[in-house]
Amino acid sequence: MSNISTIFNNPQGYQPQLEVILKNIADGITVQNTQGKLVFANNTALKILDYPNLDSLLKAKPSEIIDKFEIFDEDGNKLNLNNLPGRKALQGKSESGVIVGFRNKKNRSEKWAEVKATPVFDQRGKIIFVINVFRDITQKRKSEESLLELGRIVEFSEDAIYGIDLKTKITNWNHGASQLFGYQKSEVIGRKINILMPQENLKETLMLLETIQKGKTVKKTESTRRKKDGTVFPVSVTISPIHNVKHQLIGFSFISRDITERKLLEARREEFVSIASHELKTPITTLKAFTQILKTRFKQIGDEETAYFLSKMDDEINKLTYLINGLLDVTKMRSGIIELNEDVYNFDDIVEETIEMLQKTSRKHRIVKKGFVKKYLRTDKNRLVQVITNLITNAIKYSPEATKIVIESSSSRSEVILSVKDFGMGIPKNKQDLLFERFVRIHSERKHIPGIGLGLYISAEIIKQLDGKMWFKSKLNKGSTFYFSLPLRRQSK
């Protein structure tokens, strides 16, 4: 059995073995004679130089081989060919660690190699050939470049991005952070995050870090931060864990965005909502009350016809109120200021009550109720009634030829489901995706169907706020069924 030392001790005797080793080594190896012509190349070198086999490479002139590539230095500039390590070695200079880039002119593929070129001398000190060793560092170079690029993206992001270690000391600080907080990088590195936030937020932040340590993620939370000049301002924050290569937690990254502007807008919108609801509803309140007084008086004197006119007027006032409430709800939802008034209710009772109330106003359609769930759940009764009312009135509105609406409730261990089925016009396939958007009216060509397209948007938002889901099935000219589910146990907010 031959081993490696016997091969090298007696190279002539083991020429074939030596060649096999050289050929299959992971680094590219070429040997040039004193004229610069290649006399040997291993498989990796063939691959780097893009030749199919040794013969074709050995036949090629050195200029031909070089000509196949655009050649760059480490910084990506065109390389003066006299600086090629092989050429230098031919003049007796040993070169190592030279980074050279080759771009194949034909297929534009780019390779990067770390090159070592060594002249081999005979006993009299004359160069007999040069050995070039190429290490392919294309992958490494690419990942370094992309890391550098990522670094630049992070550095110049508008968001403040900074890292801390497990002792909450700041370890990294981007340009955005300097802009936002007013501290230069050198002022904060090594200091605790305490300097960036008011005392009351520190506890909350430390608790967040603890939950992240337990493996949970913190996406976007709102908090407040303090600038160098003492100004306290609102931010939205994303915190992520930082792991080392061994997957050990070594720190956390913070991405903070200033939301002062947004908060101001929200406050203004909130103010608008409350002023608008007051200003719009005050005259309607008086109008409605007087209408009802008049209706009662005309009834008392037996003028049924005038009393009827006034109840029509009252109905219209109710429609106007409904529209105003819809617009206000949407404004509130857009700014996330809808407030739930929650308590524990029997789900069946809420459904029954709503149906009873709506049946009174519907002459043509019979509202059929199927199923009982016998479950209690924590919810906002008024908002839930609003959703069920919206679904049933839609069902009636969009099935003018039908005479029946079917409401069915069911439950599982974890949720209750209500469905509202109509036998009407259904929803065309191409409009189904738009259904829960604002101001979308499915059969807008049918002008006699009233509405401004807010009802379903509002209902879906309410169900979302109640931690439930809403969906539907529909067939054109057969009818639609709308469903919502609500969890029996909700995380208290």
Partner 1 sequence: MKNPKKTVMVVEDDRDISEVLKILLEENNFKVETVFDGHDVEKISVSKKPDLILLDLWMQGMNGIEIAARLRKNSKTEKIPIVLVSASSDVQKKATEAGVNDFLAKPFEIEELLEKVNKYILKKA
- 41 burial type by CB count under 10 A (0-12 exposed, 13-18 middle, 19+ buried): buried
Distance CA 391, CA 408 (A): 12
Binding mask 299-318 for partner 1 (x = CB under 8 A): ------------------x-
By CB under 8 A, is residue 281 in contact with partner 1? yes
Counting every residue, how long is the chain? Answer: 493
In the set 75, 200, 339, 445, which binds partner 1 (CB under 8 A)?
339
Please report whether residue 56 would count as binding partner 1 according to CB under 8 A.
no
**Nearest one of 239, 67, 232 to 163, comparing CA atoms:** 239
Q: Least distance (Å) from partner 1 to the CB of residue 391?
A: 20
Q: Is 296 in the site for partner 1 (CB under 8 A)?
A: yes
- Give the type of residue at 318: N
Using rule CB under 8 A, residue 290 touches partner 1: yes
At its nearest, how many Å lie between partner 1 and the CB of residue 346? 20
Angle made by CA atoms 454, 328, 464, in degrees to the nearest 5: 60
Q: Helices 260-300 and 304-334, interaxial angle, to 10°? A: 170
CB of 253 to partner 1, least distance (A): 37
Decide whether 218 or 337 has the Cβ nearer to partner 1: 337
The piece of 99-107, 154-162, 237-245, 333-341 that touches partner 1 (CB under 8 A) is 333-341
When the beta carbons of 18 and 284 are compared against partner 1, the nearer one is 284
- Give min distance, CB of 337 to partner 1, in A: 7
List alpha helices for 112-259, DSSP H.
Answer: 138-155, 175-181, 185-188, 199-213
Among positions 22, 294, 337, 449, the unique one binding partner 1 when judged by CB under 8 A: 337
Q: In what order do the strands lie in the sheet with 160-165?
A: 170-173, 160-165, 249-258, 232-243, 218-226
Closer to partner 1 by CB, 284 or 406: give it: 284
Structure tokens at 66: 């070089």
Instruction: Note whether 256 and 236 are within 8 A (CB).
Output: yes
Rounded-to-integer distance, Cα 356 and Cα 335, Å: 34
Binder to partner 1 among 231, 286, 361, 362 (CB under 8 A)?
Answer: 286
What is the pattern of x (binds partner 1, CB under 8 A) and - over residues 348-387? ----------------------------------x-----
- Is 293 a binding residue for partner 1 by CB under 8 A? The answer is yes
Distance CA 283, CA 289 (A): 10
Identify which of residues 240 and 321 has a Cβ nearer to partner 1 in the complex.
Answer: 321
Q: Give the whole-angstrom CA distance, residue 81 versus residue 60.
A: 18
Burial class (CB in 10 A: 0-12, 13-18, 19+), 232: exposed
Does 284 bind partner 1 (CB under 8 A)? Our answer is: yes
Tell the smallest beta-carbon distance from residue 298 to partner 1 (Å).
Answer: 14
Residue 131 vs 320, nearer CB to partner 1: 320
Comparison of 128 and 293: residue with beta carbon closer to partner 1: 293
Residues 60-119 that bind partner 1 (CB under 8 A): none
Alpha carbon distance 391, 481 (integer Å): 9
Burial 240-263 (b: 16+ CB within 10 A, else e): ebbeeeeeeeebbbbbbbbbeeee
**Cα first-last separation, the chain:** 77
> Which of 3, 107, 341, 403 touches partner 1 by CB under 8 A?
341
Q: Which two tokens stand for residue 391?
A: 């679904």
Nearer to partner 1, 146 or 382 (CB): 382
The answer to whether residue 169 forms part of the interface with partner 1 (CB under 8 A) is no
Query: Which residue, 26 or 301, is less far from partner 1 as judged by CB?
Result: 301
Does residue 289 touch partner 1 according to CB under 8 A?
A: yes
Cβ atoms within 10 Å of 466's Cβ, excluding its own? 21
Tokens of 161: 């991005």
Considering only the stretches 246-254, 286-294, 361-369, 466-474, report the one whose residues sit in contact with partner 1 under the rule CB under 8 A: 286-294
For partner 1, which is the closer residue by CB, 290 or 439? 290
How many residues of this chain interact with partner 1, rule: CB under 8 A? 27
Contacts of 363 (CB under 8 A, 6+ apart): none
Is residue 453 left, alpha or beta, with left meaning phi > 0 and alpha meaning psi from -120 to 50? left
Least Å distance, CB 390 to partner 1, is: 16
Interaction of residue 9 with partner 1, rule CB under 8 A: no
Q: Is 292 in the site for partner 1 (CB under 8 A)?
A: yes
- Binding segment toward partner 1, per CB under 8 A, in 96-104, 155-163, 214-222, 283-291: 283-291
Q: Does 323 bind partner 1 (CB under 8 A)?
A: no
CB 490, min distance to partner 1, A: 16
Q: Does 338 bind partner 1 (CB under 8 A)?
A: yes
Q: Round to whole Å and give the CA distance between 246 and 472.
A: 48
- Residue 273 binding partner 1, by CB under 8 A: yes
CA torsion, ordered 17, 23, 27, 30, to nearest 10 deg = 110
285 sits near partner 1 (criterion: CB under 8 A): yes
Report the distance separating Cα 251 and Cα 353, nearest Å: 55
Q: Give the interface with partner 1 as residue ranges (CB under 8 A).
A: 273-274, 277-278, 280-290, 292-293, 296, 317, 321, 328, 332, 337-339, 341, 382
